[in-house]
Amino acid sequence: MSRPTEILSNDHKLVLTKLNVMEQSINDIKSPGAKKILADLKEFFEKDVKLHFVKEEEALFPEIEKFIPRDAGPVGVMLMEHEDLYKYEGNFFKGVALWLKDDNNMEAIKLIKENGRSYINLLREHIYKEDNMLFMMADMHLEDSQINEIMRKFEELDRKHNI
Ligand SMILES: [Fe+2]
């Protein structure tokens, strides 16, 4: 059976490849394919990445908090970073929507570039910290009963999000 941290780390690999594509399109925003690529990312971030964050927030983090209190450790930092990522993502897609209507809208391009780059940089760092610190701590300390509870919640969340 897969471990919860293994499932989440596999999600990270896919997210990192999408971030590379996103970064290229932002850097070369006038290229013919950029519009479709950036618009298509919306579904990936709003469905898949959102589900991944919810699995961490509602299933994994509460079990980690049983041995490391939120405010004294990495969980509090991870949650704050999720909030910042939601903010950058919202502003990024606000920019994309405006830009799809008018590709000369400089304000839209500014929203895309600034928020897109902040999102990419923060999410890369965030994933690095989870993979190399938080998940290692979780693997060391989680009891089998906690792992089972996390897996049960993952399945429930997959069902709720229709995956
Ligand atoms: Fe994550």
Distance 120 CA to ligand 1 centre (A): 13
Per CATH, the homologous superfamily of domain 4-160 is nmb1532 protein domain like (1.20.120.520)
Residue 43 in this model has a pLDDT that exceeds 80: yes
Q: For the chain, what percent of residues have pLDDT higher than 70?
A: 99
Distance 124 CA to ligand 1 centre (A): 10
Task: Map out the domains of the chain as residue ranges.
Answer: 4-160
* Residues flanking ion ligand 1, Cβ below 5 Å: 130
Residue 95 in this model has a pLDDT that exceeds 90: yes
Sign of torsion over alpha carbons 138, 16, 117, 35: negative
At 120 the pLDDT is 98
Sorted by sequence, the CB contacts under 8 Å of residue 150 that are 6+ apart come out as: 4, 59, 60, 63, 142
Structure tokens at 144: 């089998």
CB 112 within 8 A of CB 29: yes
Distance 38 CA to ligand 1 centre (A): 21
Instruction: Give the predicted TM-score (pTM) of the model.
Output: 0.94
